[in-house]
Amino acid sequence: VFILAIESSCDDTAAAVLQNDKVLSNVVANQLIHNQYGGVVPELASRAHQQNIVPVIDAALKNANISKEQLSAISFTQGPGLMGSLLVGSSFAKSLALALNIPLIAVNHMQAHVLAHFIDEAGYDKPTFPFIALTISGGHTQIIKVNSFFDMDIIGETTDDAVGEAFDKSAKILGLPYPGGPLVDKYAQLGNPKAFTFTKPKVPDLDFSFSGLKTAILYFIQKKTIENPNFIEENLNDICASIQHTIIEILMDKLQLAVAVTGIKQIAIGGGVSANSGIRKTLKEAEQKFGWKTYIPKFEYTTDNAAMIGIVGYQKFLLGKFETSDVVSKARILF
């Protein structure tokens, strides 16, 4: 089975070709245009998708050494995401599936971040059901009990900002360019995580809140900069390490609670923030410390990519879960 997968939910145009559960090609075109605006501009995003989608799909087919006629089905991101962005991918997927007379498969982007673990990679151990997924990305922070491929329960989520936003907004306060998450990670590696302490939010059950942390960081930086105008540049590594440390503690506290509540000790992380080196390291250490089995995806399957849309497409192909061309994109969508 050959699946062409298209992802266009936010600001990355991505296409991948899978042969069954193996990735033959995985192409992403990042839209750097947004960096100068400090965030994704929806109108610019959909225009850039329109420019990128044909070359990205061509490259995916070429890298996979596959012709369009060999494809068995096309999967695309139905949502959640920016409507204008989603529509570019879905229209293209619909037209191509119609032209080639092959099945069309709609994929939930957040389910894809979870199921990216089922991409077949040499040396990568796939999780077994049930497991707990911690999905941490630019728009979401969720703890999910994954019972089977398409049976997932969200057992905790953020009540305000996502973890990715906590990283990006903290970075912005520090004067770092958008998206700041990877930069905070980079500087944190050189700093002392215990240099500064930020109060952790008190949120009941398995839910999260990150907006208070952002405000705490803002006030802390404002106060310190009044005392010393060079505070940020003199302490950047320590500030980043301390912010990252606080965020990791918040996540680990909730994961421990999730394990206690469900009795499941298999933890799989996904979403763009799971690229964070501190989170990856802490989670690995938790294997020894708590007796967990952890699953950390390959770097390229953490941030937005089409391979994850392809693996869900493949699973749905096996189940015959196809759509007709009147399927609609959804900016907000549950499982």
Structure tokens at 231: 């505070």
Site for Fe ion in 196-235 (CB under 5 A): none
In angstroms, the CA 155 to CA 144 distance is 6
275 in contact with ligand ATP (CB under 6 A): yes
Q: Pick from 34, 49, 94, 109: which binds ligand ATP (CB under 6 A)?
A: 109
Question: Taking the C-alpha atoms of 137, 7, 82 and 207 in order, what is their torsion angle to the nearest 10 degrees?
Answer: -30
39 in contact with ligand ATP (CB under 6 A): no
Tell me the torsion sign for CA atoms 318, 144, 250, 161: positive
Task: Check whether the bond before 130 is cis (ω within 30° of 0).
Answer: yes
111 in contact with ligand ATP (CB under 6 A): no
Could you tell me which residues are beta bridge partners of residue 295? 268
137 in contact with ligand ATP (CB under 6 A): yes
Which residue number, 259 or 286, has a Cβ lying nearer to ligand ATP?
Answer: 286
Residue listed under structure tokens 């305000």:
160
Q: Which stretch binds Fe ion (CB under 5 A): 24-32, 136-144, 192-200, 258-266?
A: 136-144
Give the residue ranges of DSSP H helices in 7-82. 42-64
Which residue number, 103 or 156, has a Cβ lying nearer to ligand ATP?
Answer: 156
In angstroms, the CA 104 to CA 23 distance is 19
Q: Which stretch binds ligand ATP (CB under 6 A): 14-22, 55-63, 160-168, 252-260?
A: 160-168
Instruction: Centre a 10 Å sphere on the Cβ of residue 248 and count the other Cβ atoms it contains.
Output: 19
What single letter denotes the amino acid at residue 133? A
Q: Which stretch binds ligand ATP (CB under 6 A): 14-22, 48-56, 117-125, 178-186?
A: 178-186
Question: Is 181 annotated in some ligand binding site?
Answer: yes
- 137 and 200 Cβ atoms separated by less than 8 Å: no
42 in contact with ligand ATP (CB under 6 A): no
Site for ligand ATP in 180-209 (CB under 6 A): 181-182, 185
- 291 and 265 Cβ atoms separated by less than 8 Å: yes
304 in contact with Fe ion (CB under 5 A): yes
156 in contact with ligand ATP (CB under 6 A): no
- List of residues contacting Fe ion (CB under 5 A): 137, 304
Rule CB under 6 A: which residues touch ligand ATP? 9-10, 81, 109, 113, 137-140, 164, 167-168, 179, 181-182, 185, 271-273, 275-276, 303-304
